[in-house]
Structure formats: structure tokens, C-alpha cells
Chain A
Amino acid sequence: MTAPVPRVVQAGLRTFQCAYERYVEEPFRLGQFVAVREGPFVAAGVVTDSASGPEDPSRPLQPRGADGQTAAQVMAGNPEIRLLLRTRVSVVSCGYIEGHQARASLPPLPPPLLARVEPATDAEVALLTRDGAFLALLLGAPGCDDAAVAAAVRSAALAFAAEAREFTVRAGKELARLLRADPARLTSIIRGLGE
């Protein structure tokens, strides 16, 4: 079975939201870099939140299942439920790639509605994050809290493989520069880098 691909359901320059066709247990993770490759450029973003629940708010999910049953067993016994649930993921823009040029600034256009949202490749992540400039966008984005920023740095470090430590140090210095007037927030994010 192929992995489900979410699509853009709400699009803005600073943030966008994507939704899976139904409920998925393992959507994009907090801090993961994603890419929308439909349109004149590759729009890139960082996952800041995800939520699952009923598509129809007038039909709240009831706590079904017998004692001892796992979620998977309850789902298998109630095959309609998964189809009535939806997983949504919130994304903050962190730049875009045009040709081979990466820009850590807001994209000129929002990603197209219903475009496929895919994981960014390691090469794309490295291109977007190498100089740490993406952090300014994240820190200023609504809904991008300290945990999401720290998770994004951890996630980006993975793209640098053997140079992950050097990247993390560079990112830490950039954070210190951007947050010199807000030491409490800086501390919170730096602590998150070690998780």
C-alpha cells in the first residue's frame, strides 16, 4: 500500500495547511521539512502542528471499543471510522527554491490549493538551511512555537549527515543573534535542540 499523500487545503504566503484523504497514524512529524513542487518554484515549509479528528464537527468521535482492545482492533471492527476522520498538518513557510537557487524568504505566491505536499529531500533541506537564514522566518511566523523551531533544527541537522554537529552549532549561533533581546526564548529553543 502506497503512503498517503496530503494536499494543500488552505494556502497563504506565511503558512499553509495540508490534509490527508483520511486519518493517518503517522503524518509528517513536528519540525519536518516539506515541499510543494507544483507551481513555478518549490515552496518549502516546516511542520508546526498536526491534528486528527472527525471531518464533520457535528459528529464527534465516540470512545468505542471493548476493554483491552487496541486502537487498531477498534478501527478494524468499525471500518467506517477511518473514512470519516481526517488528519491535517500545519506548515510554516521557510523559503523556496527556484532552479538551483534557494531563498530563505517568503515565496512570491502561496502554494497551489490541492497541490501534493511531499517530504523535502536532504539536498533541498541542506540548500534551504545551510546559512541558518530560514530561522528568522520561523521565529517570526505565527503558530511556530519554540518546540517547532527546535524540532526544525534537529530535523535539518539530519540532512547534513556527518556535518550535523557543525550545522547545529551554526544554527545555535544564528538563534543567539536573532534572539539576543529574548534570552528566555533562546534558552527554551536551545534546550529543545538537545532532545
Chain B
Amino acid sequence: MTLRMEQVLPQLPAVVAAYAAGLESMNEGLKVAGSALSSWSADPEGCDARIRAAMTGSSQPYAVSLLEPPGAVVPAPPFTPVTVVAADGSSIEPDRFAPVQCYVVNVGFAVLPYGTAHEAALGAHCTVGPPAPESEGEEDAGMEDSGPRAWGVNLLRDVVELETGARLAEESAAGGPTVLLLDGTLLPWDLDSRQVADSTRRELVGRTRLALDRLASCPGRTGVGAYVSGSRSSDVVNSLRALAAADGMAWPGSDGHLFATRLRDGERSAVFRAASERVRRVEEFFAGQHDVCFFYLRIGGDIARVELPRWATTAEQVARLHATLVDQCHRCDGYPRALQEAHEQAVISGGDRQAFSRALEAEASSHGLRAATNSKQMSKRRRGL
């Protein structure tokens, strides 16, 4: 049976109307938030202190000021020659109905020179796992393994993306100005997932730190930006709520709502530093020079959040990143071209997934391994009357 549209359509108007009413009710909150932002710009240190006080006992994410007045709006600087490096990944999760539990991580990359002497490159590299225990080099590897979820495939994918980007950026930076773009957040958020085995977490925290260190030591002050299109983060509006003491008022639901009213096409916000007192935070693993900072960037109707490590927040690095992102987005209908091409290299199509599944079954079969019959799966395949 297909979706009963005659049941769906009558319910839609109420949902949309409620959302529109919610947006309208935010208008007063947006005005108050704007005033609070002005106050914050006038007294960054004093307001930061008030925000830190509000953070106590809260698990909410907040933002504190960094070097610029929090209310600053910065137009895009002129574009200068740069090599843009990007990495993005895709994966095949272990199939619990397969004869052998196995995953694939495929990380695509793009190296695109704009006025620099670098050679353009597109490609991908894939890893099949889990690795054999002896290749882990740890005696207790697998001891606490509670199944494929503990392998942290998504986490591994994020880490390999960062490693790939760091390696390519390092190579590129030796030859000229370079900006590395990543898709999503700067730090792999699954690092604090309780499902990931501790041994895996330890290993991947180490690899993430190494990749970040490698980036930080690149010559020529390489720019780094992790790009979150249509971000729904709320660090800044949480901080503004603390400053405005606006309890009970309909408050902007995300930083995107706030900055959509303040930024014009190509403009960015001030650079903020992420702050939170939530326990088991991913940032705790990388405190110090790799602290997560961010700004918002308007491209057309999209408010993107751009995360960068603290060491990459010099005026020169931020200006190059800002100009590069605006140029990249104008080349690709509002999304960075290099990320789009890295994504295209990473995509695992439906056909590829089926081919992998067949290859895995054939390999397993050569070892006398067959998938256990699963009634639910069989029934979905049959679908007979």
C-alpha cells in the first residue's frame, strides 16, 4: 500500500501554519537577542563572564567571544590564489544478516588549484574492516567488543576523512596557500558515543589528534573550515538568552534564525569559541590549541556554520577561508565545489552496495560460511501475495 495522500494532505496545513506562527512569535525574541548582541560587543569580557556563570550545571552548548566583537558583520575579502583541499566519506555498515559482519569506509577527496601551481586531483580510498586482531597491535583488542556497533564505523569514517584531508593539505601547503574543507563538524562527534568500544575510541582519539597536529604544523598557515550547511546549532542564541535573561519569551530556535536577520549574501559573523560544561564532551579530548571555534556565513538563503580549530583563527587564515568559501559556493550553486566533488568521489551507489554484498557472500561461501536464514528478511524479499 502506498502512502494514503488523502489522509496526509488534510493534516499538512496545520503543521505548516504552526511552524509559521512559531517563526512570527520569535520576532520579539530576535529584537531582544539583537540588543543583547550589541551589549556583548560593547563589553565582551564582562558578558563572557556572565555567559560562563550561566553555563554552570547546564548541558547546553554556548558561545563565548574570541577576538572580534560578537556583533561584527564581515564582508567577504577579495579572493586570492589558493589550493582547495576537501575530503568527504561514505560507508557500508555491517549487515547483521550477512554471513560475515564487515564494513567499508570510502573517503573521497578533491584537490583543486585556483591560480596556484598545484595539479588538480580527484580520487577515493577505501578501507574494509574490521581489521584482523593481530594487525591491531594490541593484546586486548576485541576483548570488550560488543558487536559491530562497537567498531564505530561512522566515527572511523569521520576520522579517516580528517586524516585524508590533513595529509593532502600538508602536501599542498608545501607549494602555496591552502584551505582544507571538511563536511560537517570539525571534531568527530561519535567519539563520545557509549556504543563505541573504549579501545576503538582511544585509538581514534589518538589518530584525530595526530591529524589535527599535522594540520596545525602545516607551512603557510593553512586554513581549515568544517562546513555545516543549514546549521541548527544554538550556541550563540543560548549565550544571548543568558545575557538577556529572556525567560518566557519565544526565543530564536537556532543561531541560523538570528544570523539570517543580520548577514547579507557572502557576509560572515564574528568568530566565536564553542563552550559547554556538558560532561563527556568530545572537545575535552582536544582542549587547547584545537578548541572548536566557529562563525556563520550567509550564502544565498543558507546560513552555514563553519567550524575551525583555534590555531586557525588568525585574521589572515579566517580571511582566506572566508573568501575561499564564498568563491567555492558561487561556483557550485551555494555549496563548496571541492566538497561537492569529494562527495561525488565518496558516494557508494546502490549497485556498488549490492556488488559488495555479493562479493562478501562469495568469499564467505568459499570458507563454508552462509548467512543464517532470517524470516523477516526473506519475507521482505518475497513480498508475494
Contacts and interface: CB of A to CB of B under 8 A. Distances in A.
B114 A80 contact: no
A113 B197 CA distance: 46
A83 interface: yes
A83 B122 contact: yes
A84 B120 contact: no
Contacts of A82: 120
B122 A78 contact: no
B121 A83 contact: yes
A57 interface: no
A79 B111 CA distance: 9
A181 B113 CA distance: 59
A39 interface: no
Contacts of A79: 112-114, 120
A41 to B, nearest CB: 35
B331 interface: yes
Interface in B249-282: none
B337 interface: yes
A77 B330 CA distance: 12
From A77, A79, A82, A83, name the one whose CB has the most chain B CB atoms within 10 angstroms. Answer: A79
Interface in A27-58: 56
Nearest to A78: B331
Contacts of A83: 120-122
Interface of A is mostly: loop
A52 B122 CA distance: 19
Nearest to B110: A80
B341 interface: yes
A83 B109 CA distance: 13
Interface residues of B, number: 12
B122 to A, nearest CB: 5
B113 to A, nearest CB: 6
Interface string B320-340: 000000000001000001100
A59 B341 CA distance: 11
A79 B113 CA distance: 7
B331 A84 contact: no
A131 B110 CA distance: 52
Contacts of A59: 344
Contacts of B122: 80, 83-84
Interface string A62-77: 0000000000000001
A56 B122 CA distance: 14
A84 B108 CA distance: 14
A82 B110 CA distance: 13
Interface in B90-114: 110, 112-114
A56 B347 CA distance: 13
A77 B110 contact: no
Contacts of A77: 114
Nearest to B116: A79
A80 B345 CA distance: 12
Given A78-B331, A80-B122, A84-B341, 19 more contacts: A56-B344, A59-B344, A77-B114, A78-B337, A79-B112, A79-B113, A79-B114, A79-B120, A80-B110, A80-B112, A80-B120, A80-B337, A80-B338, A80-B341, A82-B120, A83-B120, A83-B121, A83-B122, A84-B122
| In the A-B complex, the 9 residue pairs with the closest CB atoms | A79-B120, A79-B112, A83-B122, A80-B341, A80-B112, A79-B113, A83-B120, A80-B120, A80-B122
20 contacts: A59-B344, A77-B114, A78-B331, A78-B337, A79-B112, A79-B113, A79-B114, A80-B110, A80-B112, A80-B120, A80-B122, A80-B337, A80-B338, A80-B341, A82-B120, A83-B120, A83-B121, A83-B122, A84-B122, A84-B341
